[in-house]
Amino acid sequence: MAANLFIETIRAKASNKQLTVGFPDAEDIRSIEAAVILQKENIARAVLIGNKIKIHNLSSDNGLNIDGIMIYDPSVSEHIQEFAHILFEKRKSKGMTLIEASIKVADPLYYGGLLLETGRIDACVGGNISSTGNVLRAAIHTVGVAEGISVVSSYFIMILPDKMFCFADCAVNPDPNPEQLADIAISSAANYQAVTGEQPKIAMLSFSTKGSADHPHVDKVVSATNIIKEKSPGLAVDGELQLDAAIIKSIGEKKSPGSPVAGSANVLIFPDLDAGNIGYKLTQRLAGAEAIGPIVQGLNKPYCDLSRGCSSADMVNVAAICTLMA
């Protein structure tokens, strides 16, 4: 599928859901442009979170009409006390005081997380100004990690002319243990299905296929595969598999006969962040794949992070994907 067709499809699917997306890094013209596009093209409702005067000035300086787009300004918000209490309850066991919580919730990243937590918005998209660490920390502390999932991670949708893949984790966890690796795979499979509509087939990647090598790194992938089978028996998964056995039919049939996945995998789970990050960049740079992501996953509610170099069109696409995960 061509990248632009994929993007058209996710925008149309998002439009059917008509959810509300918050932009906590809103004092940035790209957020305002993204919000205007989302509203104008009827993809989602958008809300901007930040200083009202700055947002209005930025909009008018750039000739953007933001009538009809709601702005939440944490510095004058009626929700601050409510949000401070919610955050305090979540974080008091970690030593946070109510006063500290009241200060924290004025940060748009936390404020956005609490709009999401309290159901006032359905998805949150930040990181066009803030660092990944700050976005993830705010998300983990407000909406929290999903029930039954041990770790927040990320995935990329990799688009090649004849096929789409999900690659994970390419951006967050340097060295996941077997339980974490299993949860990365389970989250990725759910999101691949939600975003593409295709049935996920998970390959747990390694430098070994079905015992061809003996090493603790291989054992980790085998353990993770077993955990997935126990936790989510309905998922199509196989491991440990080398990349060629995962995606090339003739090699998959030879190296893992009878596998429901080998040769036709579409969710590729890398054993660690070195492999994942290098793997997605190789596919992007040498094979010319369009890489959409990293999309944060494993949270209770969708709170996505952007690259600081993103465009407003990237923000619209991530916002659309984020609503499909809601």
Ligand X SMILES: CC(C)(COP(=O)(O)OP(=O)(O)OC[C@H]1O[C@@H](n2cnc3c(N)ncnc32)[C@H](O)[C@@H]1OP(=O)(O)O)[C@@H](O)C(=O)NCCC(=O)NCCS
- Residue 106 to residues 50, 138, 253, Cα–Cα distance (Å): 9, 12, 56
Instruction: State yes or no: residue 140 binds ligand X (CB under 6 A).
Output: yes
CB of 175 to ligand X, least distance (A): 11
Q: How far apart are CA 295 and CA 263, in angstroms?
A: 25
- Which residues within the stretch 271-300 sit at the binding site for ligand X (CB under 6 A)? 294
CB of 92 to ligand X, least distance (A): 11
Residue showing the smallest CB distance to ligand X in the complex: 133
Q: Residue from 29, 96, 145, 222 that binds ligand X (CB under 6 A)? A: 145
Instruction: State yes or no: residue 171 binds ligand X (CB under 6 A).
Output: yes
Q: Residue from 19, 114, 151, 243 that binds ligand X (CB under 6 A)? A: 151
Phi, psi of 70 (to 5 degrees): -75, 140
Q: Interhelix angle for 29-40 vs 52-61, to 10°?
A: 80
Which residues have C-beta within 8 Å of that of residue 185, sequence separation ≥ 6?
168, 202, 204, 224, 228, 237, 267, 269
Of 9 and 177, the one with the shorter C-beta distance to ligand X is 177
CB of 149 to ligand X, least distance (A): 8
Annotate 33-42 with b (16+ C-beta within 10 A) or e (fewer): bbbbbbbeee
> Residues 248-254: contacts with CB within 8 Å, 24+ apart?
none
CB of 173 to ligand X, least distance (A): 5
Q: Residue from 133, 161, 197, 288 that binds ligand X (CB under 6 A)? A: 133
CB of 294 to ligand X, least distance (A): 6
Q: Map residues 82-101 to x or -, x wherever contact with ligand X holds by CB under 6 A.
A: ------------x-------
Instruction: State yes or no: residue 142 binds ligand X (CB under 6 A).
Output: no
Count of residues making up the chain: 326
Cα-based angle 144, 149, 145 (whole degrees, multiple of 5): 5
Instruction: State yes or no: residue 136 binds ligand X (CB under 6 A).
Output: yes
CB of 142 to ligand X, least distance (A): 11
Instruction: State yes or no: residue 172 binds ligand X (CB under 6 A).
Output: yes
- Residue 114 to residues 28, 85, 126, 142, 254, Cα–Cα distance (Å): 21, 11, 13, 6, 51
Q: Residue from 132, 196, 256, 312 that binds ligand X (CB under 6 A)? A: 132
54 token code pair: 């700055």
Q: Map residues 25-54 to x or -, x wherever contact with ligand X holds by CB under 6 A.
A: ------------------------------
Q: How far apart are CA 243 and CA 204, in angstroms?
A: 9
Pairing status of strand 163-168 against strand 303-305 = unpaired
Q: Residue from 152, 227, 268, 304 that binds ligand X (CB under 6 A)? A: 152
CB of 214 to ligand X, least distance (A): 29
Strand partners, 23: 48
The site for ligand X (CB under 6 A) is made up of 94, 132-133, 136-137, 140, 145, 151-152, 171-173, 294
